[in-house]
């Protein structure tokens, strides 16, 4: 049993597809299939059920998968600890963040980090929640910045701050003239929302359902900027994170706080519990805590 065979095996197990696994591993698909076959022959058991183009783990495969992930993680950690160097300079940190956080929090944070620690680099991966978590577990991301809830026992989850969601309105909308705006005022309003692939879209829908609010959905977008631009031309209204509102200087959009039941989300940072943190990673975590005003916590 060799390490490259375990890497190929894990890739197939996670992707459920030999061709995509080969692409991830940067190897020809026949070579990958051959190594998986050798591994199965050595173990004396099939690791996958081949169902046409899709493959699924057998019971033996599921057992090996848990061990293979641990073995590969241990090897990567050994490499990291050996390459760890003392001192304040050099190195990099890979940071993953969701699209409704990355453009507002990470640019200033990355700039401050690289000014303070000359020679260090922040590598940014902007992606959906599930992908950031997956990359964190695979070791491709050192720190993730996401919105709760996050439930995975392999991850350390540290809440950072609560962020209010504000009502985005086009200039001149009837609700801009009200002294108090509540969630009930959104009933029947044309509503623009991020698609359900974004956790924010899911959270807003859940909040509206909880408050028995039924806005009329006129757009589900993959981009926050699309939501904002549609609001500015009067296509509808939306609920947006306070960070996005703070950065918005468009003259055709205004933002109002809701009174009564206030929608919000909690942002948090995550990292793999069993992964060794090199100095740049630890420095980035401390800088992020400083930026949001949170003290260090026991890990």
From the centroid of its chain, how far is CA 135?
A: 9
What is the structure's pLDDT at 285? 96
Same fold, 3-83 and 92-160+266-292: no
Residue pair 247/166 in contact (Cβ under 8 Å)? The answer is: no
What is the structure's pLDDT at 144? 97
Instruction: Name the helix (H) or strand (E) containing 288.
Output: helix 279-292
d(C-alpha 157, C-alpha 283), whole Å: 17
Q: Is the peptide bond before 149 cis (omega within 30 degrees of 0)?
A: yes
In degrees, rounded to 5, the angle at the alpha carbon of residue 5 between the alpha carbons of residues 144 and 48 is 90
Instruction: Name the helix (H) or strand (E) containing 145.
Output: strand 143-147
Residue pLDDT tens, the chain, 299 long:
899 999 999 999 999 999 999 999 999 999 999 999 999 999 999 999 988 777 899 999 999 998 999 898 888 877 766 765 544 456 899 999 999 999 999 999 999 999 988 888 999 999 999 999 999 998 899 999 999 999 999 999 999 999 999 999 999 999 999 999 999 999 999 999 999 889 999 999 999 999 999 999 999 999 999 999 999 999 999 999 999 999 998 899 999 999 999 999 999 999 999 888 888 999 999 999 998 875 554 43
Residues 170, 175, 178, 181: is their CA dihedral positive or negative? negative
Residue pair 71/260 in contact (Cβ under 8 Å)? The answer is: no
d(C-alpha 133, C-alpha 272), whole Å: 9
Backbone angles phi, psi at 63, to 5 degrees: -65, -45
Residue pair 80/268 in contact (Cβ under 8 Å)? The answer is: no
Q: Which token pair is 200?
A: 């924010």
Residue pair 131/210 in contact (Cβ under 8 Å)? The answer is: no
Task: Tell the residue number behind the tokens 């073995």, with chain if given.
Answer: 71
Question: Which residues does residue 170 pair with via DSSP β-bridges, in sequence order?
Answer: 253
What is the structure's pLDDT at 299? 38
pLDDT in tens, 137-193: 988 999 999 999 999 999 999 999 999 999 999 999 999 999 999 999 999 999 999
pLDDT in tens, 170-179: 999 999 999 9
Alpha helices in 16-159 (DSSP H): 18-25, 29-43, 59-83, 102-116, 129-138
Beta-carbon neighbour count of residue 242 at 10 Å? 17
Q: Which token pair is 55?
A: 């493959």
For the chain, the structural domain boundaries read 3-83, 92-160+266-292, 163-263
What is the structure's pLDDT at 298? 41
From the centroid of its chain, how far is CA 172?
A: 36
Q: How many CA atoms lie within 13 A of 27 on its CB side?
A: 19
What is the dotted CATH code of the domain comprising 3-83?
Answer: 1.10.10.10
Q: Which CATH class is domain 92-160+266-292?
A: alpha beta
Q: Which CATH class is domain 163-263?
A: alpha beta
d(C-alpha 191, C-alpha 183), whole Å: 12
């Amino acid at each position: 049993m060799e390490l490259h065979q375990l890497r190929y095996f894990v890739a197939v197990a996670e992707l459920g597809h030999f061709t995509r696994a080969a692409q991830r591993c940067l190897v020809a698909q026949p070579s990958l299939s051959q190594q998986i076959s050798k591994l199965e022959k050595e173990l004396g058991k099939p690791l996958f059920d081949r169902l046409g183009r899709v493959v699924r783990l057998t019971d033996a495969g599921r057992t090996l998968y848990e061990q293979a992930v641990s073995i590969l993680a241990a090897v990567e950690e050994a490499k990291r600890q050996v390459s760890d160097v003392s001192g304040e300079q050099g190195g990099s940190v890979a940071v993953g963040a969701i699209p409704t956080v990355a453009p507002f929090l990470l640019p200033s944070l990355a700039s401050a980090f690289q000014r303070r620690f000359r020679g260090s680099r922040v590598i940014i991966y902007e992606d959906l929640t599930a992908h950031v978590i997956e990359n964190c577990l695979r070791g491709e991301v050192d720190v993730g910045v996401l919105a709760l809830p996050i439930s995975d026992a392999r991850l350390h989850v540290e809440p950072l701050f609560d962020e209010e969601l504000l009502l985005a309105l086009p200039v001149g909308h009837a609700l801009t003239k009200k002294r108090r705006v509540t969630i009930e005022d959104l009933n029947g309003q044309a509503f623009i929302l991020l698609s359900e692939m974004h956790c924010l879209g899911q959270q807003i829908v859940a909040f509206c359902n909880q408050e028995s609010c039924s806005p009329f959905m006129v757009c589900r977008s993959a981009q926050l900027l699309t939501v904002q631009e549609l609001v500015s031309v009067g296509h509808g209204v939306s609920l947006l994170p306070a960070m996005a509102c703070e950065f918005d200087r468009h003259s055709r959009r205004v933002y109002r706080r809701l009174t009564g039941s206030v929608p919000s989300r909690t942002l948090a940072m995550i990292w793999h519990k069993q992964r060794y943190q090199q100095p740049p990673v630890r420095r980035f975590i401390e800088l992020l805590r400083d930026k949001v005003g949170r003290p260090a916590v026991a890990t």
